[in-house]
């Protein structure tokens, strides 16, 4: 059992709560629009608009729609940033407004940890084209700062004026869960009072689509994009590429109390492990990702029977969804695993790669806030190997106190976080 001391520390540790959110996703350009569309079962998939995909084997994706970076930054500044950095800076500005924090008053105690799986893929592609077509003397001098993965975090820090810890995880699709875990550790260790944490990705480019399609990782349902992402369904044939920028404001509890901050929930635990198995395929048994979940439970000081909802990583790939089913059974025990409601929200958002964990952390928090479990859309024909309660197609009312969100990445990166309703 957790024990809370008079000073608000949990089991002798500083408690960490979430006080601000910002998001641009394929189903909405702010948090509440995204959540409303998710609960209503809307898909963010459609024909690719960012380049001519007519000659590509995959012609659709889950894009962020109607995004104008100049709504959030100066035009000159926007021209020096890749889309992945533009998206997360816009999300960070939303989160800054939402949390109501005076950053300038204590900038040294406020940090940022922003993840990405790939970084500036479009800028890398453009740089290569310039080099080939115009020669080395005509390459854009901003190319490297646009490409390197840490610049999402760097732009957030520079534009918001944070001067505390600054980091960027690049651990494939587990990256933003690890960013959130990094922020949790920074606050627990006293290195910061507040951390802007999240993830961003903008992989809907010629190289991104062609490369993932060549791996046979993407769905090829070009005639029916909105039904292409179908986690746990027997007819799933790959994930749908997604993009987005998402930021959560993590804050030490007493700091949040002192300024009367709105609190969405508490970040209770974090667990990580590695598979040491394969460059793309998950642990076939599920032992190692299950260790990450169990580590998160231990860190949170909870037992598996306290879990009310799991937001699964499940991306709509044949191997991955079945592996996660096995892993959840290992982590919870088969009998309990059959009782806990689970959903994969990637049916709606597609797979946002390095931003996925942050997107799904917000969904888990809002499930706690509103008592609504988001559906796994397009789950029409259950796969016999995926035999748990996946909340098919329609949202479900439930009392949610504790939620777990999983993220797993190419190369064997595993990360789980535990979120809980804030109880003073």
For the question of residue 313 being annotated catalytic, the response is yes
Pairwise CA distance, residues 251 & 17, whole Å: 5
- Are the beta carbons of 175 and 116 closer than 8 angstroms? yes
CA distances from 34 to 21, 264, 314, 316, 361 (A): 12, 16, 19, 20, 13
Q: Which of 62, 173, 352, 386 is catalytic?
A: 173
Q: Considering only CA atoms, which of 300, 315, 366, 328 is closest in space to residue 98?
A: 366
| Alpha carbons 174 and 106: distance in angstroms, whole number | 30
Active site residue 278: no
170 is catalytic: no
Task: Return the beta strands (E) in 191-241 as ranges.
Answer: 194-201
Rounded Cα–Cα distance for residues 270 and 195 (Å): 15
Nearest Cα neighbor of 395 from 415, 417, 377 is 377
Please give the Cα distance from 177 to 353 (Å, whole number). Answer: 11
* 24 HSE (CA, 13 A, CB side): 27
CA dihedral 372, 377, 382, 383 (to 10 degrees): -110
Q: Which of 351, 352, 386, 413 is catalytic?
A: 351
Element housing 321 (H / E): helix 318-332
Residue tagged active-site, from 62, 313, 386, 413 = 313
Distances (CA, A) of 422 to 17, 139, 335, 407: 8, 51, 28, 23
Which residues have a catalytic role annotated?
A: 173, 313, 351
């Amino acid at each position: 059992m957790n024990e809370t001391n008079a000073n608000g520390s949990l089991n002798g540790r500083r408690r960490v709560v979430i006080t601000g959110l910002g998001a641009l996703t394929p189903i909405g350009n702010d948090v509440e629009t995204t959540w409303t569309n998710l609960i209503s079962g809307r898909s963010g998939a459609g024909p690719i608009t960012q380049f001519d995909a007519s000659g590509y084997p995959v012609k659709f994706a889950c894009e962020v729609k109607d995004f104008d970076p100049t709504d959030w930054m100066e035009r000159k500044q926007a021209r020096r940033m890749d889309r992945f950095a533009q998206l997360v800076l816009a999300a960070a500005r939303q989160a800054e407004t939402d949390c109501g924090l005076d950053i300038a008053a204590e900038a040294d105690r406020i940090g940022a940890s922003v993840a990405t799986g790939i970084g500036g893929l479009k800028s890398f592609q453009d740089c290569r084209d310039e080099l080939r077509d115009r020669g080395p003397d005509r390459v854009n001098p901003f190319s490297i700062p646009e490409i390197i993965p840490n610049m999402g975090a760097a732009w957030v820090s520079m534009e918001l004026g944070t001067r505390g810890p600054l980091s960027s995880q690049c651990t494939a699709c587990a990256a933003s869960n690890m960013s959130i875990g990094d922020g949790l550790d920074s606050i627990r260790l006293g290195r910061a009072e507040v951390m802007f944490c999240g993830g961003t990705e903008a992989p809907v480019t010629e190289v991104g689509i062609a490369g993932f399609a060549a791996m046979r990782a993407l769905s090829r349902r070009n005639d029916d994009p909105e039904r292409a992402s179908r986690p746990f369904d027997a007819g799933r044939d790959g994930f749908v590429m997604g993009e987005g920028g998402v930021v959560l404001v993590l804050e030490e509890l007493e700091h949040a109390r002192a300024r009367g901050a709105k609190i969405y929930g508490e970040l209770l635990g974090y667990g990580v492990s590695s598979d040491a198995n394969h460059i793309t395929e998950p642990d076939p048994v599920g032992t190692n990702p299950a260790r990450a979940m169990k580590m998160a439970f231990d860190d949170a000081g909870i037992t598996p029977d306290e879990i009310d909802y799991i937001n699964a990583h499940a991306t709509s790939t044949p191997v991955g969804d079945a592996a996660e089913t096995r892993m959840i059974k290992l982590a919870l025990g088969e009998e309990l695993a059959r009782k806990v409601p689970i959903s994969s929200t990637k049916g709606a958002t597609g797979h946002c790669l390095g931003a996925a964990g942050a997107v799904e952390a917000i969904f888990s928090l809002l499930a706690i806030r509103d008592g609504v479990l988001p559906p796994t859309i397009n789950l029409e024909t259950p796969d016999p190997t995926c035999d748990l309660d996946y909340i098919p197609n329609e949202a479900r009312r439930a009392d949610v106190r504790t939620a777990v969100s999983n993220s797993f990445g190419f190369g064997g990166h595993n990360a789980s976080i535990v979120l809980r309703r804030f109880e003073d």
